[in-house]
Amino acid sequence: AQSVTQLDSQVPVFEEAPVELRCNYSSSVSVYLFWYVQYPNQGLQLLLKYLSGSTLVESINGFEAEFNKSQTSFHLRKPSVHISDTAEYFCAVTPFSGGYNKLIFGAGTRLAVHP
């Protein structure tokens, strides 16, 4: 079985400051890793994903995440946040295994960017 732990339920930060949202996972098999973002009153949107290859993946709006297999982590970072980044961020995994797989989510981290 797989599980995802997001270490911070809320992260307040000032505009233009850097931010890191932490995610650790547990799995007996290899997994794919995802970050989804949920803006107020909206559904989940894929922010970025790690499937294979380079362990550093980037999104189009300046976020990046690094897969660390030895630490079973997939932390999300942004060097300078904007007010518009205020949202809830969910880390998720899905196993490599055969069959029809599914996303298993963490509890989420609420990012609040203040002016």
Partner 1 sequence: EAGVAQSPRYKIIEKRQSVAFWCNPISGHATLYWYQQILGQGPKLLIQFQNNGVVDDSQLPKDRFSAERLKGVDSTLKIQPAKLEDSAVYLCASSLGRVGTAGNTIYFGEGSWLTVV
Residue (43 or 115) nearer to partner 1, CB: 43
Q: What is the identity of the amino acid at 85?
A: D
Q: Which of 21, 30, 18 is nearest to 90 (CA)?
A: 21
Give the pairing of strands 109-114 and 10-14.
parallel
For 87, residues 6+ apart whose C-beta sits below 8 A from its C-beta are 37, 38, 39, 40, 110, 111
Closest to 92 (Cα-Cα) out of 39, 48, 29, 42 = 48
Kindly state the smallest distance separating residue 100's Cβ from partner 1, in Å.
Answer: 4
Output 3 or 80, the one with its CB closest to partner 1. Answer: 3
Residue 16 Cβ, how far from partner 1 at the closest point, in Å? 29
Binding stretches for partner 1 (CB under 8 A): 4, 6, 9, 32, 36, 41-46, 49, 51, 90, 92, 94, 96, 99-108
| Closest approach of partner 1 to the CB of residue 51, in Å | 6
Q: CB-wise, 36 or 78, nearer to partner 1?
A: 36
Q: How far is the CB of 80 from partner 1 (least distance, A)?
A: 27
